[in-house]
Amino acid sequence: MAKGVQIEDRVDVQAILQTAVPPADSFAKNLFLIDSAEVPTDKRVVEVTRSDFADVFDSTGLAYAYAQTHFSQKRTPDSLLVGRYIKAASPTYSIMGGDYETTLAIWTAISDGSLAVDLNGTPTDVTGIDLASATTLEQVWALITAAIQAVFADTSAELAVDNFDRLVFTSPGNTGATNTVQLKPVSPATGTDLATLLDYLNQTPVAGSAAESIVDAIDAVEAIDSSGYFITMNSYTEADLLLFAGKIESMEKIGIVMSDDTDIKDPAKTDDPFSQLKALGYKRTAGIYYESISSRPTMFPDSAGLGAVMPAKEGTTKFCQEALVGVTGSGYSSPLSKGESDVVNDKNGMVVEFVGDVTYWFDGLTFGGEEIRIMLGRDWFVSTIRNAIFAYTIQQPLTAFDNETLTAIAGFISDAGEEAILRRILVNTAERPFSVNLPDADDFTQAERASHKMEVFDAFQAYLNSAVNEYKIIGTWTI
């Protein structure tokens, strides 16, 4: 469903750290984009929690490993979004109605079952299906599958219950948006019609999907659920990383990418993905260098770092040197040297390193050199003021070009600023004060009043409070 009017369409608040863009619906959710049938194309995005992710995802799959890492940190996010990235054309399938027969004895009494597999309007009859030997419903589905595969052109076709307790017939050999498949009765009728027992009258055919770009995947998921603020993915190709970061830069979100391109740790290389992303100055994407990703597919340092920090109040915790569990360092066969880590950091990439028994991200910056924490804090600050002004507008019978309205807005900015100072996003000292500078009602011109749109520039001034990631302290001992 397409989104309608958003708050920022009526109340535009900007903190000029970079171009203002549409806001996130929340700041406490991570969206993991994955090219896996574990997220069906008809659902597109699935939300799981610590208590139910194991029921939704297979324990051997990537989504399970990602969620397990995410929910195993010292802070636990409330939920995780897992969205489908259709990187390769996906197959057509059909979801049986929810009233399909679950009484085993009814199925095992059938020795002459029949149904037709209809692909794009052309049926293939499947008859003589003997289910007498089944001892479980899973075996019933397997026997039907075997009978279909024996005559249907797609020998990989399967009838099975998916992770959402739906009985689904899938035709992996028929991909792309032009294919549809469904089960129907054999015509003319013969044997025992299994399609009725499968609740075929209420089935929902789902067409295959053509391959899409990572940008299209983000748009598709956002159209369904835009609440993910941090976005990660399980694709590590250079092309995807560049497209992904470009898309994130146009959103009020934060992206985290990973790469095992060894050129990243070579100071002489300037065409590796991290060097390119740094040159582009992308402030909203951070990257983790992680060697031999294919050799450790269940390692997700991006998931660990976000799981450790996201539940904290926005801006109060840096995305650097937070203790992580469930992941190892960026070096695969041996730890990265200080020199190698420095090269990655010089390209504004991050590494996973460990000192003693503590594993952590270092050093928590985006490719544009901004702290992830500060970008999050900036977005929270702007959203807080924007929402407060909109709520005031709705609640008041009249907001106008008068000092009453300006005083209210000044209060919202001041309140957000004080909270930002408490969260150590901003500083407030004699030399670097936080100040609110709204005009007087009489300062607006007649043309500005006639526009019905209040525009105030330099309404506040603030100084960011950067985190300390390293120390060098020199002193003198005197005897």
Helix (H) or strand (E) holding 220: helix 214-224
CA distance 314 to 304: 17
Residue 15: pLDDT band with limits 50, 70, 90? low
- Mean pLDDT of the chain, nearest integer: 94
- 336 pLDDT higher than 50: yes
What is d(CA 390, CA 5) in angstroms, rounded to the nearest whole number? Answer: 13
In Å, how far from its chain's centre is CA 153? 37
Q: What is the rounded CA–CA span in Å between residue 265 and residue 285?
A: 19
Among 22-31, 56-65, 450-459, whose mean pLDDT is lowest? 22-31
Strand partners, 355: 358
Categorize the per-residue pLDDT at 13 as very low, low, confident or very high, splitting at 50, 70 and 90: confident
Would you place residue 59 in the very low, low, confident or very high pLDDT band (cuts 50, 70, 90)? very high
Q: pLDDT tens digit string along 279-303? A: 999 999 999 999 999 999 999 999 9
Contact yes or no for 231/256 (Cβ under 8 A): yes
Give percent of the chain above pLDDT 70: 96
**Topology at the third CATH level for domain 91-206:** Alpha-Beta Plaits (3.30.70)
Which tens digit of pLDDT belongs to each residue from 72-87?
A: 999 999 999 999 999 9
Structure confidence by residue, pLDDT tens digits, 420-455: 999 999 999 999 999 999 999 999 999 999 999 999
pLDDT band at residue 21, thresholds of 50, 70 and 90? very low
- Assess whether pLDDT exceeds 60 at residue 19: no
CA–CA gap between residue 38 and residue 31 (Å, rounded): 15
Q: Rounded distance, CA 182 to CA 300, Å?
A: 38
SS3 255: strand
CA distance 463 to 479: 42
Q: Is the pLDDT of residue 364 over 50?
A: yes
pLDDT given for residue 17 in this prediction: 43
